[in-house]
Structure 1
């Protein structure tokens, strides 16, 4: 356990691709970094990640472990701390403004710069079996998992808005046995946006099934998902495409720091510079925390930008004698 108020050049919250990339960039600038990893990940339970050059099909746990080991072995200014940060403050009193973060045991770490790369988590619908099949039959992104499940019957859960329509239309190229939208009992919608999405999907050739879903389970007859209906009967699909609402894991920290965010339930932090600085000077953001593009390569890129931005700002501060 670190001593109370251990001080670093930068504090990075999040041990995924974004946080690891940010820490590496700062390490290459010979800056001291505390990298906090809560060991809570959005892709828990997923056995393979895709659409990542040189790592396509790799287990995400292995990817993170290998990346962390390589970084720690090479950059001796980086310290990995496996703990969950629950509090963050911007301290302006005194000659040197700084950030302080606290874990659930009350230990405090101090840093001149702060990078939030803690990612998001999904709010799953109240359907039995959904959580267990998340990332293993239930697909949220065709670029991430769709290709491996091509060739069968594709199911779409909900289709409640136009933002869900693009993946629905893309799924036709992956479906050999057709596309069905399962509305889970919502047979009609009054929202114009949702109506238009359903009309376009139907015109493209999608079927609609309005039965209420009782449960989801692995297909016992083969790969994919079995959808059991409340009234009886079931439907097997090769994959079930679903995009639940995602919220920031660091929502409390973001709120306490007063960062400017997008409106809506996702609460993405708004970047005020190309280097992903937030509305609070010295605080940067990376990965899913700042973008709806939940892709490993995007997380890596934004993490590098945030780390480089923090390192450049530290150099300027040193030159001017400010913090």
Structure 2
């Protein structure tokens, strides 16, 4: 182990030899995929940029046996697990991943290049880059992200129960979000921000005692204790709130992967963009799998980890078949020569 990156990920040295699999992304999906591969005695390298989506959060919730664990601690344990079975975790940012010409035995290959110029080759790739949350452009909102500004009632709802909550609408699903948070507190205000509400939605909100505010949101006000004091409207009125819920636009992290030619698609209604994947994370690009939030935009930590494990198992199975087929060819060649 040779270096520590700015977010304190101890980095292994990048191997010179071709490895069985490079995992791009060191979150729950990537680490669990790497764990499955390493336990199958595969050479595996996880390239971790050290920028997890849930870094601002205080704890992971909704994951049995891990509830309340700080995200950084969960990932630290995950890296230890991968290394225990011989896997490597390398701190770095992938700037280019591209297929190589087939090997002499017909097997696949990829070259992965990092921002500092280092490179590694692999027979298979697991893309687990996660996603990026894009917040609406409301002054004062972003600085509270992950603490007093939340998005998921299952991830953070218990922690903000009984607070005064404001839901800042970003699309049609925001009404559903307001009703979910109404389950956790009896004081919810819905800031529509110009989004039309149909009669059934208005009826549901009214029946649950959710106040609808039509005036545009001008800014989020900071409280003396560093939290949120409320929301200032365009007409100058201030509505006191301690917590804001907002649906972000979810964008799979695709940077550096363009040369792979992985298909992406928009997820309606306005939820975001994901990598297209099939069974166990398989893609249309031979030798490349994808797992976690990069393809399942709404997966929580437990679901992302499970998807990574399944993809890792499928990659190992694919390698097993490739090696068995190569062994058959080699045996036939020896037999024909003899």
After TM superposition, is the score higher than 0.5? yes
Matched, 1:207 2:207: no
In 2: Cα distance, 1:197 partner to 1:41 partner: 38
Q: Is the Cα–Cα contact under 8 Å of residues 136 and 170 in structure 2 kept in the other structure?
A: no
Deviation at 1:268, TM superposition (A): 1.5
Once the two structures are TM-superposed, the CA of residue 150 in structure 1 deviates from its matched residue by 0.9
C-alpha contact 2:169 2:175 (8 A) present in aligned 1: no
2:180 pairs, out of 167, 170, 193, with 170
Aligned residue in 2 for 1:237: 241
Over residues 96-115 of structure 1, what are the superposed CA-to-partner deviations in whole Å (9 max), with x where a residue is unaligned?
32111111122221111100
Give the structure 1 partner of residue 263 of structure 2: 260
Give 1:88 shift.
Answer: 0.9
- In the alignment of these two chains, the number of paired residues is 310
Q: CA deviation at 1:226?
A: 2.2
Q: Distance in 1 between matches of 2:58 and 2:326?
A: 48
Corresponding residue to 1:310 among 287, 290, 315: 315
The CA distance in 1 between the partners of 2:155 and 2:171, in whole Å, is 22
Cα RMSD (Å) = 2.4
- 1:279 has 2:302 as partner: no
Aligned equivalent of 1:101: 112
TM-score, normalised via structure 2 length: 0.84
Contiguous gaps of at least 5 residues in structure 1 = none
Give a deviation string over 1:284-322, Cα, whole Å, max 9, x none.
Answer: 111001112230001110000111111111111110018
Q: Does the Cα contact within 8 Å between 1:11 and 1:113 map onto a contact in 2?
A: yes
For 1:197 and 1:101, locate their aligned partners in 2 and report how far apart those are by CA, in whole Å: 51
Confirm or deny: 8 A CA contact 1:159 1:165 kept in the other structure. Answer: no
TM-score, normalising length: structure 1 = 0.87
2:293 pairs with 1:288:
yes
The residue number in structure 1 matching 2:68 is: 57
Picking from 320, 324, 327, the partner of 1:319 is: 324
Question: After alignment, is 23-32 or 37-46 more displaced?
Answer: 37-46
Partner SS, residue 66 of structure 1: helix
User: Structure 1 residue aligned with 2:166, among 155, 162, 176?
Assistant: 155
Once the two structures are TM-superposed, the CA of residue 75 in structure 1 deviates from its matched residue by 1.0
Report the equivalent of 2:333: none
Q: Compared with structure 1, are the counterparts of its residues 198 and 252 closer, same or farther at alpha carbon in structure 2 (3 Å cutoff)?
A: farther
Aligned match for 2:78, one of 67, 71, 76: 67
Say which is worse superposed, 229-238 or 124-133, in terms of deviation: 229-238
Question: Greater Rg, structure 1 or structure 2?
Answer: 2
Higher mean Cα deviation, 105-114 or 7-16? Answer: 105-114
Q: 1:296 to 1:23 in 2, by over 3 A?
A: same
Greater Cα shift, 284-293 or 219-228: 219-228
Alignment check: 8 A CA contact 1:137 1:218 kept: no
CA distance in 2, matches of 1:222, 1:160: 28
Who is 1:126 aligned against?
137
2:276 equivalent among 270, 278, 295: 270
Q: CA deviation at 1:166?
A: 2.4
In the alignment, the residues of structure 2 paired with residue 156 and residue 317 of structure 1 have an alpha-carbon distance, to the nearest angstrom, of 52
Contact 2:98 / 2:260 at 8 angstroms: preserved in 1? yes
Query: Structure 1 residues 26, 60: CA separation in 2 closer, same or farther (over 3 Å shift)?
Result: same
